[in-house]
Amino acid sequence: MMKKVGSVLLFLLFMSQTVYADFDIQKAIDRAKPGATITIPAGQYKGNFVLTKKITLRGIQGTELVALGNEPVFRIDGGSTVTIENMALSGNKQAIVASDVDGLELRNLNIKDSHTGVYIQRSKNVHIQHIEMTGNNSHFSKKGNGLAIFKSEDVVVEDTNIKLVQDGIYVEEVKNILVQNNRVTNSRYGTHFMYSSNVQAFHNTYRNNVTGFMVMMTNDIYVKDNHLENHNGLNSYGMLLYDAQQAVLELNTIMNNRTGVALQKSVGITIASNDFRMNQTALEGIMVKGNSVATNNQFTGNILTARADRQGFLLTNNYYDDYSGIDLKNDGIGDVPYVAVSSFGQWMVRQPVYQYFVASPSVVLLTSLDQQINKTEKTVLVDVTPKLMTHQITKKNETNFQQLLIGLLIVTTSMWLWKRGVS
Amino acid sequence: MNSMLLKLELKQMLRSRWMQLVGMLFTFIFTAIIVIQQMALPDVEGFTRQTASFLNVLLFLLPLFILTIGSMSVAGDIESGWFSLLKTYPMTRAQYIVGKYMATVCAFILVVVVAFGTVLALGGFLGGVRLPLVFITLTLLCVVIFASLAIAIGAFAQTRLFALSQSLVLWSFFLLLLSYALMAIGTVVAGHILQKLTVIVIHINPAEWLRFGYFIFSDQASVLGPAFYGVTRFYSSYIGYVVYGIVTFLWITLPLLSANKQLQKRGVC
């Protein structure tokens, strides 16, 4: 009996070994004329493939390519109009490395077990679309980026879903890049822009990373309609702009972050019509210059609305849920300024150790006193035209009967106990 | 004898108009703030203004009520001559202190349960509120630690008025003055010194100890900032939990022992 079971197990073990497909991809690439399309049949292929000419590689459902050693699955050197689509890739170091390509299209790729998903340098007209990439649970320092793009121009990255990597989308020295409809979770930075210019980011979702957007030494930035949520680590930010110039951040939802948006050494930043909700600190500014302004934003449920050094930044026409002024003129604007400046907020900027006291009883009292005392403050972090709520949606709550009954039971029992104790 | 004293003390405490008013006030303020915050803001994980309000209502109100009522209860016994009567019973000083302590703890737990029940009932009617387990545990810890301190204050006080003033001083010292002093020191010393001083204050201030415990046990230690990474990491480990338990135990027992010593010195019982 045992012998039979052993034989069956051995058979199953043998059958479950990876079977590699017969189709020779490299031979097909070498034989193809420039501009040709190669369809790779379903199956698992092992190897490192090199592309140097105009070509389209198209997989079908079940096409899976695995790199050998530390070389990538695809190395694209030079050439123009290279398209790779519809396949699963895995490589030890990188899945795809592209250098000096003019016209690179990567579509519908599922990348796994790779240190870095896609590595692109010195390329133009790059279009990356529908990439799924999952890293691993090791420390960020041991992981690579989902997509890494260096020294390139005219790049579009859209509809990707990246998780558990170092930086979801890492961009360095790139001109003209559009990043849209991407989703990066559980990584270090959602998207990381360095030394780039003319950067646009629309409709992206970043959740549970160390920081959603990290923008450093970059200029001409337009960030619109993104969702930045749950960045609550020791040094987390929804969005951090360091040494950034000329940025517009609008219509973003920034929710439940340690710091919603932080500006450091940045110039000419406009933060408009964003929704700041439930952040520990909604807005932080250190050494901000050049008419930087936060306008028409909505601040709801944040512990600290804004903090800044002496330079501060301009607050105008924002809605603050903790504003206590009135509107006798009935023009939708509060009659007395909203003072966001607080002693504690400024101490926290100067000395990070003060963060320990955030929202502590002593600080809550101090901030309340500040709001009374600083009514005459006219310089920084004062909104002289705070908006009042013009309309509101009334949501009908549904009674939670289970909780209601438990609550009533507890109250009745404890009251009975109290009465019994007294008598 | 011990259970008889406990019953007697508990009955006296629950009968007290002051205690009943405090129970109503605490329930009203606690329920109002929690339910309003819950209704006004979306329910999200993490440390938000909502959880900060939870914590602050608890740390502001509960210690104040426990310290004043608990200390005046002991001081009142001495002042009114109740002790002289108790001396005629076969009862030790320790039994008196433990009985007094247990009665205070039980009475305030009843107040807290009424408040939590009201929050659940009203919150349930309005759509549902969350009362995290960490928060409930922290409330119980708050009661057992501050009740112990209240007994100690009462033992040191000569009169009820003196106990009241001592309680208010200690309350403001723990909740406000110590933090302000630390913040003021921080403006003239380097960050690493302020960090060390803050760590010391966490251990010598029961209000800070409870607040710190909330962040540790609710897995939100990152709120305290990177400067406290080492401390929070230690207290998030198993050894840290044990140390937290030991320090909490000391916060309960040391005031009771000092109360015993003080009553002995004063020749009571």
Domain total of chain B:
1
Record: contact A366-B180, CB cut-off 8 A: yes
- Between strands A382-383 and A338-339, the pairing is antiparallel
Among A353, A358, A392, most B C-beta atoms within 10 A, so best to mutate, is: A353
Closest residue in chain A to residue B39, using alpha carbons only: A397
Give CB contacts under 8 A, 24+ apart, made by A19-25: A19/A43, A19/A44, A20/A44, A20/A45, A20/A46, A21/A45, A25/A49, A25/A57, A25/A65
Alpha-carbon distance values, B33 to A368, B26, B49, B63, B81 (Å)? 16, 11, 11, 17, 41
Residues 58-77 of B with CB under 8 A from A: 59-60
Record: contact A407-B119, CB cut-off 8 A: yes
Helices of type H across B81-132: 82-87, 93-125
Record: contact A356-B225, CB cut-off 8 A: yes
Report the Cα B264 to chain-centroid distance in Å. 25
Query: Can you give the pLDDT of all 269 residues of chain B as single tens digits?
Result: 567 778 888 888 888 888 889 889 988 988 888 777 776 666 656 677 777 887 888 888 899 999 999 999 989 888 887 777 777 777 788 888 998 899 999 999 999 999 999 988 888 887 777 788 888 999 999 999 999 999 999 999 888 899 999 999 999 999 999 999 998 898 888 888 999 999 999 999 999 999 999 989 988 887 888 888 889 989 999 999 999 999 999 999 999 999 999 888 876 54
**Over the range A347-364, which residues count as b (16 or more CB within 10 Å of their CB) and which as e?**
bbbebebbbbbbbbbbbb
* Cβ neighbours for B173, distance < 8 A, ≥ 6 positions apart: none
Alpha-carbon distance values, A402 to A30, A398, A408, B131, B220 (Å)? 70, 12, 10, 14, 29
The ipTM assigned to this model is 0.84
Query: Can you give the pLDDT of all 423 residues of chain A as single tens digits?
Result: 555 655 555 544 444 444 566 788 899 999 999 989 999 999 999 999 999 989 999 999 999 999 998 899 999 998 788 999 999 998 888 999 999 999 999 999 999 888 899 999 999 999 999 999 998 888 888 889 999 999 999 999 999 999 999 999 999 999 999 999 999 999 999 999 999 999 999 999 999 999 999 999 999 999 999 999 999 888 899 999 999 999 999 999 999 898 999 999 999 999 999 999 888 889 999 998 878 899 999 998 788 888 888 788 889 999 988 887 777 777 888 888 888 777 777 777 777 788 888 778 888 888 777 766 665 555 678 888 898 875 555 566 677 888 888 889 998 998 888 887 776
Among B183, B203, B229, B236, most A C-beta atoms within 10 A, so best to mutate, is: B183
B18 close to A (CB below 8 A): no
Residue A311 and residue A289 in contact, taking contact as beta carbons nearer than 8 Å: yes
Record: contact B124-A278, CB cut-off 8 A: no
Pick the closest to residue A343 from A320, A318, A373 (CA basis): A373
In the prediction, which pLDDT does A191 show?
96
In the prediction, which pLDDT does B102 show?
92
Q: Token pair 């408040």 is at which residue?
A: B115
Tokens of residue B45, six digits? 């994980």
Among B129, B223, B224, most A C-beta atoms within 10 A, so best to mutate, is: B223
For chain B, the average pLDDT equals 87
A62 is a domain residue = no
Record: contact A300-B41, CB cut-off 8 A: yes
In the prediction, which pLDDT does A378 show?
56
Domain that holds residue B59: 2-265
Record: contact B222-A236, CB cut-off 8 A: yes
Of B116, B121, B208, the CB nearest to A408: B121
A238 is a domain residue = yes
Chain A nearest-CA distance from B148, in A, is 22
**Over the range A323-337, which residues count as b (16 or more CB within 10 Å of their CB) and which as e?**
beeeeeeeeeebeeb
CB pairs under 8 A between A and B: 174
A186 is a domain residue = no
Closest residue in chain A to residue B45, using alpha carbons only: A256
Give the up-direction half-sphere exposure of residue A226: CA atoms within 13 A in the CB hemisphere. Answer: 32
Q: Is residue A78 packed enough to be buried (19+ CB in 10 Å), middle (13-18) or exposed (0-12)?
A: middle
Domain that holds residue A246: 210-396
* Cβ neighbours for A284, distance < 8 A, ≥ 6 positions apart: A259, A261, A262, A263, A306, A307, A308, A349
Alpha-carbon distance values, B236 to A371, B220, B232, B239, B242 (Å)? 36, 10, 6, 8, 10
Domain total of chain A:
1
Of A258, A352, A408, the CB nearest to B222: A258
A261 is a domain residue = yes
A324 close to B (CB below 8 A): no
Residue B119 and residue B129 in contact, taking contact as beta carbons nearer than 8 Å: yes
Of B15, B120, B227, the CB nearest to A406: B120
